[in-house]
């Protein structure tokens, strides 16, 4: 949960005007660690969390599935530099099913 910018400013003003951090935490009902974190920051505005870049490119995986439908998970994992479980997860999310093995019966003479 993020706190409003107005509350952050009130807490920082209270501490900078001689109030203790412990009293400010009790008065505004927030944690001391939060106040210490706010004091150490340059800007009080909320920071936007960046999404990390994924290791596996799903477009390239989709293209690889179309070009090499017979490839195993292990082979694809080596090609893309990830674990086989990551390939399995991506294929599941892409709704690509694995090819079922055909049942072959021995012919009798």
87/77 Cα distance (integer angstroms): 6
Structure token pair of residue 50? 């960046």
pLDDT confidence tier of residue 108, bands split at 50, 70 and 90: low
pLDDT of residue 28: 94
Euclidean distance between the first and the last CA atom of the chain, given in angstroms as a whole number: 74
Tell the residue number behind the tokens 């706190």, with chain if given. 3
Does the model's pTM come out above 0.75?
A: no
Kindly give the interhelix angle for 84-93 and 73-80, rounded to the nearest 10 degrees.
100
CA 43 to chain centre: 25
Contact 28, 10 (CB under 8 A): yes
Nearest-CA neighbor of 76 among 52, 94, 60, 100? 60
Q: Kindly report the length of the chain.
A: 109
Give the tens place of pLDDT for each residue, 17-45: 999 999 999 999 999 999 999 999 888 88
Give the tens place of pLDDT for each residue, 62-105: 999 999 888 888 999 999 999 999 999 999 999 988 666 666 66
User: Which is more confident, 36 or 52?
Assistant: 36
Structure token pair of residue 80? 């893309």
pLDDT of residue 50: 78
């Amino acid at each position: 949960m993020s706190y409003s910018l107005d509350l952050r400013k009130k807490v920082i003003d209270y501490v900078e005007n001689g109030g203790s951090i412990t009293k400010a935490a009790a008065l505004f009902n927030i944690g001391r660690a939060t106040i210490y974190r706010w004091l150490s920051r340059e800007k009080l505005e909320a920071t936007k969390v960046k999404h990390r870049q994924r290791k596996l490119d799903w477009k390239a995986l989709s293209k690889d599935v179309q070009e090499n439908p017979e490839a195993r998970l292990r082979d694809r994992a080596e090609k893309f530099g990830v674990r086989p479980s990551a390939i399995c997860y991506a294929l599941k999310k892409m709704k690509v099913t694995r090819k079922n093995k055909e049942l072959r019966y021995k012919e009798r003479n």
